[in-house]
Chains A and B, each alone.
Chain A
Amino acid sequence: MYEKSFPFVHLQDNPCLGGQVNLVSVNPTSYERYYMSRLIKLAAIAGASALVLSGCAGAANEETTGAESSLSGTISGSGASSMGSGQEAWIAEFQTLNGGVTVNYDPSGSGAGRESFAAGGVVFAGTDSYWKDEELAGEFAACAPGTKPWEFPVWISPIAVIFNLDGVDSLNLDAATVAGIFAGEITMWNDDAIVSQNPDLELPELSITAVHRSDDSGTTKNFTDYLSKTAETIWTVGAIETWPTEYGGEGAKGTSGVVDAVKAGNGAIGYADASKAGDLGTVAIKVGEGYVSYSAEAASKVIEASSPVEGRESYDLAYKIARDTTESGVYPIVLVSYLTGCNEYLDAEVATLVKAYASYIISEQGQATAASAGGVAPISNSLREKAQAIIDAIK
């Protein structure tokens, strides 16, 4: 661990420099360590100039790789609470890998996170919805004057439609039926619309309790976005965060509240983070000609099927999620959260830290950590390549 965290060792091992510099003892006391950071900088400068002189370009690359693991400092972000569990897991692992770095994330909500990033209160933000054009037109206090932020998806979380019906584990429904149920138009489980799609099931004559989030939530927004794109004649209020009163139904606080309410009521149906669905029955959604149950693969495919938002810069990977996709095997009810930060920071040290943290988040390791922390779908390799290119360009 010790060798790894000091670039100096690399310099020593470097054939171009031939181990000629030996400024630091191998087992430093804490007192020596205090001075070491300064010495390292000196050594690095000396080494770099020596390399320039001797033309050892390959060795210069090696030196930067070494320098990355000796990161230190603090960066703070805030934003979407949906990826709060992911950020917690990422921060824990990232700080283990980089002992000198402290990362903070305040899950204060998407809107609050974007606001506080724009105001310069934090240096990166997580958000459930990409930057609006009018927001991008404003100033960003943490970034170099005139520069705009980058963004790309890092958190693809399937939203499951869960239900509690004695003796039924899986149900096939199309968008119009789901919209009808949540808009209060379909009120009985033995309604023709449900029965006709599930000929093998014995559906009881039982009233449907449609459970929604009583708190404002990105989950509701993405779920209603799906309904409004696929069944706009039935779901007429568009993508909303606050449930419309006229649609009735039962409200419950938070994801766990919805899951508890669905568990408690026979004949209840709701929507929640797929990772929290537990042993409740889930609805397979009609996409194209077939019915698709949620799964990590089906959810991450939706980004491939979606088109980028028009008129955005190359560093702005905002997607218009293809809710109405007909491609088979794609699960369209997903919540996509973005990570956003500056292309050019005022402070170069911050830039280095954000680069390292963002690279870690999109790495296979980071995405696997997120999958185990929040049951989310990993981003695809092609998306990772594009995002990495954006990260590499951060100044």
Chain B
Amino acid sequence: MSSQAPAVKRRIGDLVFSNLALSSGVTILVILAAVAIFLFAESLPAFLSQQDAAPDGFFAYVAPFLFGTVLASLIALLIATPLAIGIALYISHFAPRRVSQFLGYSIDLLAAIPSVVYGLWGILVLAPFLNPSYLWLNENLGWMPFFVGPVSATGRTMMTVGIVLAIMILPIMAALIREIFLQTPRLHEEAALALGATRWEVIKMAVLPFGKAGIISSAMLGLGRALGETMAVALVLSGSGVFTFALLTSTNPNTIAANIALQFPESSGTYTSLLIATGLVLFAITMAINMLARWVISRRSEFSGAN
């Protein structure tokens, strides 16, 4: 089609494309900077004004919510990571081709469900369903600080939130890890088989070491989503501004995002600024976690066998 003057045309195309790509890249930075500036500027009044938006100071206000955010996300991660690895391994190495395709689609479908639906499902189905097992946990493992009573009558607890969040971050983690496992060099696997390894040993010796960096980065992506999840937490959790490791009671630390969603509609003046300032804290935490993940991955990349 372009055989007449290929060189010139390609150069224009290259130029246009490289500029488009550049501006896309810059847009990300601009948006990020704009969000950071907005959060910073809007939260300033909370620190400068002498009004009593937070009587005990900003950090006393935000600390329980920060604690709740991290606690809920960690529970979610603890549940979701082993599950996601299991799902990914099954799809990539165990399941027959047809089953694995079907499973892959259904996992992707889970990712498309809006979080408010997860929230409603959490309150109306999961919480009542889990409550008997909470009672059992409390009776038999009540000596652990996580399972002390009194157990909530409604099941709207930190534990339920952790489980809902785990289900929400599962699809993205499973999908990513599956992709990574599928990229395991065929030669590594066949070499292990040639040495007489069983299927489990192949996974242990070839697949998991290769995928380690990928597992960590997908876990961090999942964590990022769990940290910022708002609607599901706001609907499910019975939260307030407390510190507690008890996961089964009605008194739970709220998360930053859920607290903003709950209090913003009726807030005004410096209280609004205070809420935005807590948003800034969440922004900083999420960014720090992502940078940590990048660092971990870059340290491990040389061993991954990808090169």
Please give the residue numbers on chain A whose beta carbons come within 8 Å of chain B beta carbons, in ascending order: 81, 108-112, 115, 207, 209, 211, 214-218, 241-243, 245, 248-253, 257, 260-261, 264-268
Do A209 and B153 contact each other (CB < 8 Å), given the known contacts A214-B239, A251-B240, A260-B123?
Answer: yes
CB <8 Å contact, B254 and A215: no
Interface contact A264-B266, CB-CB below 8 Å:
no
**Which chain B residues have a beta carbon within 8 Å of chain A's beta carbons?**
123-124, 127-128, 150, 152-156, 234-235, 237-242, 250-251, 254, 262-263, 265-269
Residues of A contacting B238 in the complex (Cβ-Cβ under 8 angstroms):
211, 214, 250-252, 261
The B contact surface, by secondary structure, is: loop
Beyond A245-B240, A245-B241, whether A265 also contacts B267 by CB under 8 A is no
* B268 CB contacts on chain A under 8 angstroms: 109, 111-112, 115
- A215 and B262 in contact (CB under 8 A), knowing A251-B239, A264-B127? yes
Residues on B with C-beta less than 8 A from A108 are: 265
Residues of chain B contacted by A214 (CB below 8 angstroms): 234, 237-240, 254, 262
Q: How far is the CB of B143 from chain A (nearest CB, A)?
A: 20
Asked if B266 and A268 make an inter-chain contact with CB atoms under 8 angstroms apart, the answer reads no
CA A115 – CA B155 in complex, angstroms?
Answer: 39
> Which residue in B128, B234, B235, B250 is a CB contact (below 8 Å) of A250?
B250
Check A264 against B154 for contact (C-beta < 8 Å). yes
Most buried by B among A81, A112, A241, A253: A253
CB-contact partner of A268 in B154, B234, B235, under 8 A: B154
- Bound-state Cα–Cα, A228 to B124, Å: 33
What are 14 pairs between A and B in contact, CB < 8 Å?
Answer: A109-B265, A109-B268, A211-B238, A214-B254, A216-B263, A216-B266, A245-B240, A251-B237, A251-B238, A253-B235, A260-B124, A264-B124, A264-B154, A268-B153
Q: Which residue of B lies closest to A267 (CB)?
A: B153
Among B241, B266, B269, residue most surrounded by chain A Cβ atoms (within 10 Å)? B266
Please, how many angstroms separate the alpha-carbon atoms of A268 and B240 in the complex? 18
| A257 & B154 in contact (Cβ 8 Å cutoff) | no
Instruction: Find out whether the CB atom of A207 lies under 8 angstroms from the CB atom of B150.
Output: yes
Given contacts A209-B152, A245-B240, A261-B156, contact A215 B265 (CB under 8 A): yes
- Tell me if B250 and A245 are in contact (CB < 8 A): no
- Chain A residues near B237 (CB-CB < 8 A): 214, 251
Taken together as a complex, chains A and B put the C-alpha atoms of A125 and B156 apart, in Å, by: 36
Closest chain-A Cβ to B106's Cβ sits at a distance in Å of 29
A264 to B266 alpha-carbon distance, docked (Å): 27
**In the complex, what residue of chain B is closest to A184 when comparing beta carbons?**
B251
The 8 Å CB contact of B240, one of A110, A243, A257, is A243
Give Cα distance in the complex from A265 to B238, angstroms.
13
> Are B128 and A264 in contact (CB-based, < 8 A)?
yes
Q: Is the CB of B155 within 8 A of A264?
A: yes
CA of A108 to CA of B152, assembled, Å: 32
> Which listed residue, B123, B155, B250, touches A248 by the CB 8 Å rule?
B250
A residues in contact with B150, CB < 8 Å: 207
- Known A-B contacts: A209-B250, A248-B250. Give 9 more (CB < 8 A): A110-B266, A111-B266, A209-B152, A214-B234, A214-B240, A241-B266, A251-B240, A253-B234, A264-B155
Which of B156, B239, B265 has the largest count of A CB atoms less than 10 A from its CB?
B156
Write the chain B residue with the least CB distance to A110.
Answer: B266
Minimum CB distance partner of B268 in chain A: A111
Q: How far apart are the CA atoms of A216 and B272 in the complex, in Å?
A: 12
Q: Please name all residues of chain A whose beta carbon is closer than 8 Å to the beta carbon of B241 when the two chains form the complex.
A: 245
- For A248, the chain B residues whose CB sits under 8 A away are 250-251
Residues on B with C-beta less than 8 A from A110 are: 266
Residue of chain B at shortest CB distance from A209: B153
Instruction: Determine how close the nearest CB of chain B comes to the CB of A341; give it in whole angstroms.
Output: 20
Closest to A263 in B: B154
Which of the listed residues B152, B154, B263, B267 has the most CB atoms from chain A within 10 Å of its own CB? B154
| Chain A residue with the shortest CB-CB distance to B149 | A207
Q: Give the chain B neighbours of A267 by CB distance below 8 A.
A: 153
Residue of B nearest to A266 (CB): B153
Q: How far is the CA of A250 from the CA of B154 in the complex (A)?
A: 9
Contact residues in A for B262 (Cβ distance below 8 Å): 214-216, 253
Q: Is there contact, CB below 8 Å, between B266 and A252?
A: no
| Cα distance, A369 to B124, chains bound together (Å) | 32
Could you tell me the distance in whole angstroms from the C-beta of B276 to the nearest C-beta in chain A?
15
Q: Enumerate chain B residues within 8 angstroms of A218, measured Cβ to Cβ.
A: 266
Q: Are B153 and A207 in contact (CB under 8 A)?
A: yes
